[in-house]
Every structure is written in structure tokens, then in C-alpha cells.
A and B are shown apart, each in its own frame.
Chain A
Amino acid sequence: MHAIELTNVSKQFKNFRIDNLHLTIPTGSIVGLVGENGAGKSTTLHMIMQAIKKDSGTIHVLGVNNETDGFLAVKQKVGVVLDEAYYPETLTAKRIRIMLKDIYDAWDDDVFDHYMEQFKLPYNQVFKDFSRGMKMKLQLAVALSHHAELLILDEATSGLDPMVREEILDIINEFTRDERHTVLLSSHIVSDLEKSCDYIAFLHEGRLKFMEEKDGLLERYRILKVAPEEINALTINQAAIKGQRTSRYAVELLVDKEALSSSDTVFGDLEKATLEDVMILMTKGVKQS
């Protein structure tokens, strides 16, 4: 079963379009939604939660179409952490708890208290005096305190120091120990996704470039560095080249290892590509720097 399924989803904005998006998030996995700023990551997450209405296509979350009446019950099972904690600044954690108890049917004070203690968060301090790290931790505590089956995190680790990011990623990994639990995590901090995700979905200019298993992806792509004058002498299956970056001293090619043929000649060494390499080279194509 899939936790989330987007089929042919499109949404037109003034200067931007989510175009015919197909995305399937397997239950029990951590999926990283990656892409540059403005690629459509947040819009996609908001459409999944029906916070923004799509123009066309269908979205199923935990098996329920998000346009049906039953979706409200599904939302009870979804924990959300957004890029900012959008609580009114005069609220305290104690009052947020009281308020959310009436919104989430399965709200669990004990779980909330557990995370408040683990994150060392104060109950009576007003929200505006929280640091960014504290705000994000509070959001995560809230998201985990109503027995969610699906966690949606939108740039939850952005702007946080490495210690806090590590702590949050640990909690996310812990959450998916239960095989019914799924995480969809959007970020442009690629190293975070590399660390914790099972799958990577790459969104570029409103289109899904790929969604692949992370390990397979990192195994498949290689970087080939050659001198500019050697590039024409290179014999390589053009279909294997998925991206290129050119500077005065070197040309970097993103090579799909599986598409290389035995007759291909390769100058220089094939290096392992990082997720960031894949993203940048696929996005930029041919770039002079």
C-alpha cells in the first residue's frame, strides 16, 4: 500500500506550474523531496494536505482521496512540521497543548510531555521567545503527539545548527521503526536527505525529474572529470550523460553508469556522485563558470 499517491496532478500559478506530477510514497519509508527553492516542494506538500487545491489530477493519502469528506479523518493521522512554526506568538507550549487536544482526537499528553522533556522545552515561555531550534522541536513534538501514521516535514531542518538537525533526524528515523509509519521530508539540505532517506524524489521547475531508491541512485550516477580540450576526443554514449558543468579548467559530466557501453572510452577517473552533484548537474545542464 502507498501512503501517498499523486496522479497527474497539476496546478497553475501566475509564474509557476506544477505539471502533471506523478509521485508515489511507499508506506514505511522515508522519502526526501528535493529540489531548488521554488521547485514546487512546499506547494506539493500543501496540495497533499488539501491546504492548496490542485487544478487537476488525484491525490490519495493513506488510501483516501483528499477531496472526499473522509479526508478530515485522515488528517488526524498526519503530523505536520512546516518551515516555520506558525503559532501566534503570545501562546505558550502549555496552551498549545490545551488547544490541540480539542483538534486532534488521538492527542496524547504523555507523549507530548515525553518530547517536551526530551527536547528540554519550557511549558510557560511565550512562543515569540523561542529560538528557531526550539520552535521546530515544539512542532515536531506536536506532530508526534497524536499518534500520526504519516509525517510531513517541509524544510524542517533549514536554518538549524547541525546538532539540532541531527536530533530531529534521529527522531524521524525512530518514527519509521514502526513499518506502518511513513515520512515525506522536503529539504534543500541534501546532506540531511542523504543521511536519512530511503527514496529521493527530485522536483525541478514543477516537474518530477526522478524518484529512486537513494542507494541505487548514488550507485548509478558517476562524475567524470575531463580537461576541456579532451572533451571532443571522448567516446561515450551520449544517452549516458545526464548533465554537464564546464569551467575553464575542467568539464564535469554526470554519467549514468548503467547506460555506459563497453566500447566507451573514459578519460580520467569515474568518481562517485553525491546527491548534490546529481541535483546540480541535472538542473544546470551545460554551465560555464
Chain B
Amino acid sequence: MKGLLLKDIFTLEKQMRVLLIVIVGFALIPASNMISFTMMYALIIPISSFGYDERAKWDRLMRMMPIPEKSIILSKYVLGYGFVGMVSVIMLMAQFGYHVFGYQDLTLASYPAFLVNVIFMVLTALIAYAVLMPFIFKLGMEKGRLVFGAVFAVLISLTIPFSFIQIVSNGLFISPWFIWMLLLLAIVVNIGSIKLSQRFYSQNTNS
């Protein structure tokens, strides 16, 4: 799997540089809505790796190599998790930076709230990624991207009222039970997604 991850990282290197600047820019804007934008944006990079693969018809060569199907699927998921994790770290560091440079008063009370907010967005992003992946493995990048657009639009439209309610209700959506439920949902959806992607990939081998 390491070889496949390296391949994706090498392939995406140029794109990563540009997008990292954008992501850091997003992360530095102190608005909670930006977190969701940043997370979704972070997922575009691993998803675009499918585009590079399809353009090169990499799959034809990869299937000839001694790589288990499981590793082929998991490497794409791990790539996505890696990007979401990296963006989370950048955003948390940015918030810490605000505090250090005195732009934002980050108290012991406010930081955990922000942290939970990030966790909420991370879990939402992971669910979105998990929903999208089987579509890409089944339909390919082009049609899969249309599905991603739809998932993205739905999730963003959902997070806007959530953010509004969050401000009004002062932390309804960062209550521990909600986060735990979301975590459970993310795990279940991701496990299901991986199994489904494996099945779709295997079906493609038959045709």
C-alpha cells in the first residue's frame, strides 16, 4: 500500500502545493463556516488522484502488479483520511497561532469548543468521502465527480443552518452525545463504503 500512496503523493505533488496554500488561507479565516469549506476542499485532492489514474489508464498496469485488491481500495481511503487529518492539524495550528499573536482570545473554555467543532467537520468530511468513494469505484471519476458535487452541495447546505443554530443554541451540535453518534456513523459508513468499493472494484475485474 505504501507504494500506491507514494504514487499518489508524487502524482499530486504540484496540485498539493497550490491547494495547501488555499487550505492554509481558508484555515486562517476565523469563521466556523470556513472549516466546512476547507474540509470539503481538502477532499478534492485525493479524489483528483482518480482523475490522474484514469487519464493514464493506470489501473490496467496496476492489475498486473502484485498488489492485493484490498490494498488498492484502502490506499485511496487512507489518502483521503491523510488529507482530512492534515487539514485538521493546519486549522488547529492556525487557531493556536491566532492566540499566540493575540488576534483571538483563546481561553481554555473556547479552545475545546473549537476543537469539537473541527471534529464535527472532520467526521462530516469522512462521511462525505465514504459516500462518494463507491460511486467513483463503480462509475469512474467523471460520473463520480458529479455525485461528489451533489454530496458537497447537500452537505454545505446542511452545515449552514447547523452553524446558525449552533450560534443561537450555543453549542447544541457540539454536545458530546452528538459527536459520539457522528463518530459511530462515520465508522459504520466508512466500513460499509470500503466493502462496497471492494465489491465494485472486483466486479470491474470481471468485465
B residues 38-95 touching A (CB-CB < 8 Å): 52-53, 55-61, 63-68
Which of chain B's residues has its CB closest to A86's CB? B61
Which residues of chain A are near B61, meaning CB under 8 Å? 80, 82, 85-87
Closest chain B residue to A143 by CB distance? B64
Q: Residue A80 contacts which of B7, B52, B64, B68 (CB distance < 8 angstroms)?
A: B64
Q: Which of B52, B60, B68 contacts A88 (CB 8 A)?
A: B52
- List of A residues within 8 angstroms of B13 by Cβ: 90
Question: When the two chains form their complex, are residues B57 and A51 in contact, meaning their CB atoms are under 8 A apart?
Answer: no
Contacts of B3 in A (CB 8 A): 99-103
B66 lies within 8 A of A86 (CB)? no
Q: Decide: B63 and A53 in contact? CB cutoff 8 A.
A: no
**Residue from the set A86, A88, A100 with the largest chain B CB neighbour count within 10 Å:** A88
Contact call A86/B10, Cβ cutoff below 8 A: no
Interface string of A38-62 (1 = CB under 8 A from B): 0000000010011111000000000
Q: How far is the CB of B32 from chain A (nearest CB, A)?
A: 36
Cα distance A49–B205 when bound, in Å? 11
Which residues does chain A contribute within 8 Å of B17, judged by CB atoms?
none
Q: How far is the CB of B167 from chain A (nearest CB, A)?
A: 43
The count of residues in chain B whose C-beta lies closer than 8 Å to any C-beta of chain A is 27
Q: Give Cα A80 to B61, complex, Å.
A: 8
Residues from chain B with a CB closer than 8 A to the CB of A49 are 63-64
Complex Cα spacing A103 to B64, Å = 12
Q: In the complex, what residues of A have CB within 8 A of residue B107's CB?
A: none
Q: Which of A71-79, A206-214, A243-251 lies at the binding interface?
A: A71-79
Tell whether B110 is near chain A: CB-to-CB under 8 Å.
no
Given A90-B14, A100-B3, A102-B3, is A84 in contact with B66 using a C-beta cutoff of 8 Å? no
Decide if A86 touches B68 in the complex (CB within 8 Å). no
| Known contacts A51-B205, A88-B52: A75-B11 contact under CB 8 Å | no
**A221–B146 CA distance with the chains assembled, in angstroms:** 58
Nearest residue, chain A, Cβ from B59: A86
B60 with A82: CB separation less than 8 A: yes
What's the least CB distance linking B73 to chain A, in Å? 15
Judge whether A76 and B66 touch: CB under 8 Å.
yes
B65 near A89 with CB under 8 A, answer: no
Q: What residues of A have a CB within 8 angstroms of the CB of B4 in the complex?
A: 99, 103
The answer to whether A171 has its CB under 8 Å from any CB of chain B is no
A50 cross-chain contacts in B, Cβ below 8 A: 63, 205
In the assembled complex, the Cα of A13 lies from the Cα of B10 at a distance in Å of: 36
In the complex, what distance in Å separates the CA atom of A95 from the CA atom of B12? 13
A88 close to B64 (CB less than 8 A): no
Residues of B within 8 A of A88 (CB): 7, 10-11, 52-53, 55-56, 58
Q: A52-B205, A86-B57, A90-B13 are known contacts. Are A99 and B63 too (CB-CB below 8 A)?
A: no
- Residue B169 lies at the interface, judged by CB distance under 8 Å to chain A: no
- B11 and A72 form a contact (CB under 8 A): no
Residues of B within 8 A of A90 (CB): 10-11, 13-14, 52
Write out the residue numbers on chain A whose beta carbons fall within 8 Å of the beta carbon of B53.
88
Residue A91 is within 8 A (CB to CB) of chain B in the complex: yes
Q: Does A104 contact B (CB under 8 A)?
A: yes
Any B CB within 8 A of the CB of A98:
yes
Q: Please indicate which of the listed interface residues B4, B14, B52, B65 has the most CB atoms of chain A within 10 Å of its own CB.
A: B65
Inter-chain contacts of A75 with B (CB < 8 A): 64-66
- Chain B residues with Cβ under 8 A from A76's Cβ? 66
Smallest Cβ-Cβ distance to B61: which chain A residue: A86
19 contacts between A and B (CB under 8 A): A52-B205, A52-B206, A52-B207, A53-B206, A72-B68, A73-B66, A75-B64, A75-B65, A76-B66, A78-B64, A80-B65, A82-B60, A86-B59, A87-B56, A88-B58, A99-B6, A102-B6, A103-B67, A104-B65
Question: Lowest 10 A-B CB distances belong to which pairs?
Answer: A102-B3, A51-B63, A75-B66, A86-B61, A103-B3, A80-B64, A88-B56, A88-B11, A102-B2, A95-B10
Name B's A-contacting residues (CB within 8 A).
Answer: 2-4, 6-7, 10-11, 13-14, 52-53, 55-61, 63-68, 205-207
